Amino acid sequence: MNKMNIKNLLIALVTTLGLSVPTVQADSPLYSIDSSNASEYADMLSPGQMAMFSAYPDTYRMDVYDSSGECVIPADITAISQSNGTMINDNEGFEVANAGQVPFPDPSHPQHYVWNFRMNASMVSAVYRIATSANVQADGSIILGQQETNVTFPRNPNAVSQYADKNIYAMFMQKNLGPPRSAGLVTLVHDFIDSYVQPRKAWQYNPATRRVRRAPDITYDTVLAAGGGIVVVDQYGGFNGAQDKYDWSYEGSKQMLVPMGNDALADNAIETTHTVNHLNPDYVRYEARTVDIVHAQLKPGQRHIYESRTMYFIDDDFTQLALQDMYDGAGNLMRHYLGTTIRGVGGTGADQCAYQGEYTFDFATRTYTGNNMLGSAFSPVSTVYNGEEKPASFYTPDGLRRYAR
């Protein structure tokens, strides 16, 4: 019996038993890149991607597909995002004539790209989700976690609950559901657009003490609870929070290979998609896209675990941070970040892109972590965008205490 017949027999057996058959990609790749030919595509790959081929020469691969289509901005957001705002307070805030979520539709400064990315989440008025985190150890074992998250974006033009303080960017509440050692930890964050005027406010409920305390260190390079020891706070979501520790420069735009249309990664079992050292290459889809490259260099006298970081933003919608390479104080490549995307999540438009997950690969420990992972394989409920907005009282220390208990 040949291999194809054996495969068909196994599929028939699995189907008869009522089990699911993993789906990979709907189409075939245009070409594949591995350690034997990576140098031929070096101009379309970031240093972090090239380092993955060097670190895992026998197993790492990138399959490159035809375009799955452009990502688009919702029409109501586009309508109110016709002209650039003005950065103020040492570029830590901005002023716009409207509540547009693309504050710089014609970017001309490196931080314009960062601001467009930071504000992209608020293209929706509210988010409810239960997402999965996965810390994949060097031996391939996986530590799973789940986080229930509520977010309200008061500046969204469709938001019902408008706050008097127009500097509020997001009201964020997240409860750790697992693993057991962190279950019950709840974090409340008030994030502001202009951190020069108002730095981030945060509180945490600790189930061990059953008390709510201010948490001023939930910022910059504090290690993230769900990050497996290799993700810091301002790296969560790609980049968040104050930009003041870095000098920013624009490094140009070019065609690069970035993750897009990763439905197969979202819909298959974690044990299948998360293999030792890196994601299973069969389930990650790459496409050639134009990206804008922004470099952040730590200012003299400032401290951060990342001396520098290079970010690669997909050009078509100003919103997705597809890749990021992070360097230590000696200039060594420390970590590589991958932002995978899917379309039409939680009631958004069919052509509006959203993160499927974000993945950080650490070269020293040979571990990696996935955060904010969404899809049928990762969440017991569907993500809801533009759904019910929690009242302002929910996002208070008293609201945190009630929610935690």
Domain boundaries along the sequence of the chain: 75-404
CA distance 255 to 44: 6
DSSP states of 67-104: --------HHHHHT--S--EEETTTTEEE-SS--S-S-
CATH 3.20.20.450 for domain 75-404: no
What is the DSSP pairing of strand 201-206 with strand 168-178?
unpaired
Rounded mean pLDDT of 130-154? 95
In the chain, helix, strand, coil percent, each to 5? 20, 35, 45
**What pLDDT does residue 26 have?**
81
What tokens appear for 204 in the block?
């945490």
pLDDT digit string, tens, across residues 228-246: 999 999 999 999 999 999 9
User: Where residue 8 falls among pLDDT bands split at 50, 70, 90?
Assistant: very low
pLDDT digit string, tens, across residues 330-344: 999 999 999 998 876
What tokens appear for 22 in the block?
């993993």
CA distance 212 to 222: 19
Instruction: Tell me, rounded to whole angstroms, the distance of Cα 371 from its chain centroid.
Output: 7
pLDDT digit string, tens, across residues 77-100: 888 888 888 898 888 888 776 555
Q: Which is nearest to 189 in space by CA: 221, 157, 163, 153?
A: 153
pTM of the predicted model over 0.75? yes
CA distance 127 to 121: 9
Rounded mean pLDDT of 159-181? 85
Q: Do residues 376 and 132 lie in contact, with contact meaning Cβ atoms separated by under 8 Å?
A: no
CA distance 299 to 357: 30
Q: Which is nearest to 323 in space by CA: 240, 260, 252?
A: 260
Whole-Å CA distances, 391 to 107, 126, 175, 218, 400: 34, 11, 17, 23, 12
What is the DSSP pairing of strand 201-206 with strand 142-152?
unpaired
